[in-house]
Amino acid sequence: MVISEYSSTAYRQIIDTVQEAVFIVNGNEEIEYANKMASDFLKVSNDELIGTCFNDFIDGFISDNQCRFYRKGNNNQFYGQIVRYNLYENHDCIIVSECNKKLHLMASVFESTKEAAIILDSKGIALLINQSFTEITGYQLNDIIGTFPKMLVSELQNDVFYQSIRDHLSLNGYWKGEVVNYRKNGELCSILLTISQIVDDDSHYYVAMFSDITSIKEREKNLEKMVQLSSVFPNRQMVIESIKLFTRDIRYDGVSILCVDVVGAIDVYGTSVKFKLLSIIKERLERLLSASDQLLKLDNELFILMCEGLDVTDLITSVIESVNLPIELNQQLLSFTCNVGVRLVKKSETINGDELLRQVEQTMVRASLDGKNTFAYFDVKQNEVLQHRLMMQEEIKKGLENNEFILYYQPKVHMKEGKIEGFEALVRWNHPTRGILAPGVFLEYVENNPLSLLFDDYVFRKVLQQMSEWLPHNIEVSINISATTLEQSNFIDHLVELLQLYPPINPNNICIELLESTSINNIEYVTTLIQQMKVLGVKVALDDFGTGYSSLTYLRLLPVDIVKIDQSFVKEVIIRPNDFIILEGVVNLSRSFNRMIIAEGVETLEHERLLMRLGVQRIQGYSVSRPIPSDKVIPFVLSFTPHKEWQQIKSIDRIYFPALLSEIEHRAWANMVEFSLSTSKLNPTVCRFHQWLHNELERSSDKREQLMKLEDYHQFVHQQALSYSQGIISIEAFKEASNALLAHLEAFFDKL
């Protein structure tokens, strides 16, 4: 057949009656023939159709045999089902029938939606896109159709991500999520993408639809940034400025500043939800305030309220109540608590906004330590103490840098052997303006603070340096170490490092004193430390023994070499029977655990005598020497002469400890007689001394004579006490009798 034959009127009439559009195209896809329906479909005259490329009318494929056509004159595309078969040589007959209504409708939805849409075949090759796709991505039909669309895949997501999409699709038939990709012009864009799998009879397709969420994402990011930034500087500065203004011209007696910290699971939500929650709370707080008050948002969950007047009791209650009111979110009730810090600013006060904000925040933190829904008022006095503390710490730090701290040394002696056993290093602050300061003045600012690490390190180095100068004299030195230093995990390593600085120093000449109270928290840990120190050859002493709560436990468990009996028991032991009972107990215990004992705070010969009687030979105290400057130590060692009494005083057997106690009791009683405080005990037969004498007489008949003599003295003392209380004799006469008894008792002990 030839073309003229198709165009012959007869054929035309037949083909024109067909309800489908019929095209005959040549090898170049140029239309050589089109029927009337074809012109009707495409709204193009037959003359125009002839010679035009068939593909020029196609706008895209929905599937291999369904495509969208351009319609001339309006934007109204139509969808057609194509059947193509070869007529002869290079000529094809293409029959296009309009798609059914449903498909058409679907297609028009596809077109009109604001979402970008793209249809892909089973291999992911693009068949069709809509107008929104072009608008969002910048890609035209020609760029996309027949290709594997780059738009949906980029290196911004990794292979694992894409594989997870494929897995989800094959399992569920759809996937939804956020993806970041490039537009045609190279710009980044975030899309919210839904991919659905559509299964046809024999094959399947994918419809991917997405919306551009770049601006939303950017807004979110900005919001996040703003929230972050506001917690750092600009917003804070703004709050400070507002506080400054608010406290400048105070009208009434003063103003109140409240810092409200909202507590609850706010951070678990995204920025926008978080923002919403905080806005709701902010609105509620705003409702509590009057027109002249002010509400500001500081940091993430912090609000600052400022109001006139100094009575905010009701306001605090309302603030807590309104924060506590639940908030509904996604059919869930969320509840929050808060902590409130209050700073009352009196009219007379002048203080800057910066400081006020800091103070009210600190107060809020203090309130939060008491639990939920708590409040606290800023305490001016407490603040002064705190400020002073900070100032002192600063000054001490500088003092350490300037080498202002020096060490004094107090000798430890063995009385019976009459020799110095070592010295305890005791720090002093050689203050540039205040002179030499004792540790009681400054140590409290160092304790329980990282500063004590610096401090102890300073002291340790100074001691080592000093010891290296004293090497020929082989002097043992005790060093006090704070709990903070001891608790450092690298304590032992650091100790080793320090010891390595001066290898000639014998670690055995170093004794580390740990406070008994230090060990309370972690007895196992401290035990290990002590063992490690002993391996290094360093001695360990338990300082201030007896002051803790469980002294006996420590004594039993801690493998210390030395126990230093706290001076509080020693100082008054000669006149306080209770102290003697404790001292005696500690001495007995230390002995049974095989610990060396040092008594601290030994001030007089009487102390020395009592201790020696008890068998405590090692002492430290003013009776031997006060702490002395380092340059006095060697002269002290060289000129040291033991007290001559040390040779004479003997320790006594335990069975005579009750006698010691009755002696102390008598001394205590004698002191009270002077002030007529204890006339009730004037009867000598109820006195403990009498009871001891009585028992002793029964027990040891060989000492009968001495004991009877003592009893005479004892009776005489009581008689004199009575005479003194009746005003017959002077106090001196009474004391003489009392001292005579004590002297005879001592003589009795000496002869034992």
Give contact residues for ligand C2E (rule: CB under 6 A). Answer: 410, 425-427, 438-440, 443, 456, 459, 480, 482, 513, 543-544, 567, 600-603, 620-622, 627
Task: Return the one option of ligand C2E, Ca ion, none that residue 82 interacts with (CB less than 5 to 8 A, by type).
Answer: none
Q: Could you tell me which stretch among 123-131, 522-530, 594-602, 616-624 binds Ca ion (CB under 5 A)?
A: 594-602
Nearer to Ca ion, 261 or 543 (CB): 543
Mapping DSSP onto H, E and C, the string for 446-499 reads HCCCCHHHHHHHHHHHHHHHHHHHCHHHCCCEEEEECHHHHCCCCHHHHHHHHH
Task: Return the one option of Ca ion, ligand C2E, none that residue 662 interacts with (CB less than 5 to 8 A, by type).
Answer: none
Residue 546 CB, shortest distance to ligand C2E, in Å, is: 12
Residue 438 CB, shortest distance to ligand C2E, in Å, is: 4
Q: How far apart are CA 94 and CA 80, in angstroms?
A: 11
Q: Are 526 and 486 in contact (CB under 8 A)?
A: yes
Q: Is 543 in the site for Ca ion (CB under 5 A)?
A: yes
At position 398, the amino acid (one-letter code) is K
Q: What's the distance, CA 71 to chain centroid?
A: 71
**Neighbour-count burial of 603, counting CB atoms closer than 10 A to its CB (0-12 exposed, 13-18 middle, 19+ buried):** middle
Task: Return the one option of Ca ion, ligand C2E, none that residue 443 interacts with (CB less than 5 to 8 A, by type).
Answer: ligand C2E
Nearest one of 104, 101, 66 to 84, comparing CA atoms: 66
Nearer to ligand C2E, 161 or 622 (CB): 622
**193 backbone dihedrals φ, ψ, rounded to 5°:** -110, 135
Q: How far apart are CA 88 and CA 339, in angstroms?
A: 90
Task: Return the one option of ligand C2E, Ca ion, none that residue 477 interacts with (CB less than 5 to 8 A, by type).
Answer: none
For residue 37, the SS3 value is: helix
Residue 400 CB, shortest distance to ligand C2E, in Å, is: 12
Nearer to Ca ion, 111 or 600 (CB): 600
Nearer to ligand C2E, 143 or 404 (CB): 404
Task: Return the one option of ligand C2E, Ca ion, none that residue 261 interacts with (CB less than 5 to 8 A, by type).
Answer: none
Task: Return the one option of ligand C2E, Ca ion, none that residue 711 interacts with (CB less than 5 to 8 A, by type).
Answer: none
Nearer to Ca ion, 212 or 544 (CB): 544
Task: Return the one option of ligand C2E, Ca ion, none that residue 622 interacts with (CB less than 5 to 8 A, by type).
Answer: ligand C2E
Nearest one of 33, 209, 201 to 119, comparing CA atoms: 209
Residue 513 CB, shortest distance to ligand C2E, in Å, is: 6
Q: What token pair was written down for 435?
A: 């002179």
Which single residue brings its beta carbon nearest to ligand C2E?
621
Q: Among all chains, which residue has been given the structure tokens 């894409």? A: 162
Nearest one of 69, 170, 53, 201 to 128, comparing CA atoms: 69
Residue 541 CB, shortest distance to Ca ion, in Å, is: 8
Q: What token pair was written down for 42?
A: 């495409």
Q: Are 424 and 624 in contact (CB under 8 A)?
A: no
Q: Is 544 in the site for Ca ion (CB under 5 A)?
A: yes
Residue 698 CB, shortest distance to ligand C2E, in Å, is: 40
Nearer to ligand C2E, 61 or 442 (CB): 442
Per-residue contact track with Ca ion, 169 to 188, x per CB under 5 A?
Answer: --------------------
Q: How far apart are CA 527 and CA 579, in angstroms?
A: 28
Q: What is the DSSP string of 356-414?
A: HHHHHHHHHHHHHTT-SSEEEE--HHHHHHHHHHHHHHHHHHHHHHTT-EEEEEEEEEE
Q: Among all chains, which residue has been given the structure tokens 């309220």? A: 305
Residue 330 CB, shortest distance to ligand C2E, in Å, is: 58
Task: Return the one option of Ca ion, ligand C2E, none that residue 459 interacts with (CB less than 5 to 8 A, by type).
Answer: ligand C2E
Q: 480, 482, 485, 738: which one contacts Ca ion (CB under 5 A)?
A: 480
Q: Could you tell me which stretch among 154-162, 300-308, 597-605, 631-639 binds Ca ion (CB under 5 A)?
A: 597-605
- Give the interface size with Ca ion as a residue count (CB under 5 A): 5
Task: Return the one option of ligand C2E, Ca ion, none that residue 426 interacts with (CB less than 5 to 8 A, by type).
Answer: ligand C2E
Q: Are 275 and 346 in contact (CB under 8 A)?
A: no
Q: Are 684 and 694 in contact (CB under 8 A)?
A: no
Task: Return the one option of Ca ion, ligand C2E, none that residue 482 interacts with (CB less than 5 to 8 A, by type).
Answer: ligand C2E
CB atoms within 10 A of CB 393: 16
Q: Could you tell me which stretch among 101-109, 535-543, 636-644, 703-711 binds Ca ion (CB under 5 A)?
A: 535-543
Residue 559 CB, shortest distance to Ca ion, in Å, is: 19
Task: Return the one option of ligand C2E, Ca ion, none that residue 410 interacts with (CB less than 5 to 8 A, by type).
Answer: ligand C2E
Q: How far apart are CA 559 and CA 672, in angstroms?
A: 42
Q: Are 420 and 637 in contact (CB under 8 A)?
A: yes
Task: Return the one option of Ca ion, ligand C2E, none that residue 51 interacts with (CB less than 5 to 8 A, by type).
Answer: none
Q: Could you tell me which stretch among 455-463, 543-551, 645-653, 716-724 binds Ca ion (CB under 5 A)?
A: 543-551
Residue 429 CB, shortest distance to ligand C2E, in Å, is: 10
SS percent in the chain: helix, strand, coil, step 5: 50, 25, 25
Q: What's the distance, CA 58 to chain centroid?
A: 68
Task: Return the one option of ligand C2E, Ca ion, none that residue 440 interacts with (CB less than 5 to 8 A, by type).
Answer: ligand C2E
Residue 371 CB, shortest distance to ligand C2E, in Å, is: 35
Q: Could you tell me which stretch among 337-345, 528-536, 593-601, 713-721 binds Ca ion (CB under 5 A)?
A: 593-601
Q: Could you tell me which stretch among 67-75, 96-104, 201-209, 544-552 binds Ca ion (CB under 5 A)?
A: 544-552
Nearer to ligand C2E, 120 or 426 (CB): 426
Nearer to ligand C2E, 366 or 607 (CB): 607
Q: Could you tell me which stretch among 199-207, 339-347, 509-517, 719-727 binds Ca ion (CB under 5 A)?
A: 509-517
Task: Return the one option of ligand C2E, Ca ion, none that residue 174 interacts with (CB less than 5 to 8 A, by type).
Answer: none
Q: What token pair was written down for 584?
A: 């005696």
Q: What token pair was written down for 535?
A: 């391996």
Nearer to ligand C2E, 577 or 627 (CB): 627
Nearer to Ca ion, 257 or 479 (CB): 479
CB atoms within 10 A of CB 511: 26
CA distances to 18, 105, 107, 113 from 101, in Å: 19, 6, 10, 18
For residue 569, the SS3 value is: helix
Q: How far apart are CA 387 and CA 380, in angstroms?
A: 10
CA gyration radius, the chain: 49
Residue 591 CB, shortest distance to Ca ion, in Å, is: 20
Nearer to ligand C2E, 164 or 517 (CB): 517
CB atoms within 10 A of CB 69: 22
Nearest one of 247, 249, 252 to 345, comparing CA atoms: 247
Nearer to ligand C2E, 132 or 480 (CB): 480
Contact residues for Ca ion, defined by CB under 5 A = 480, 513, 543-544, 600
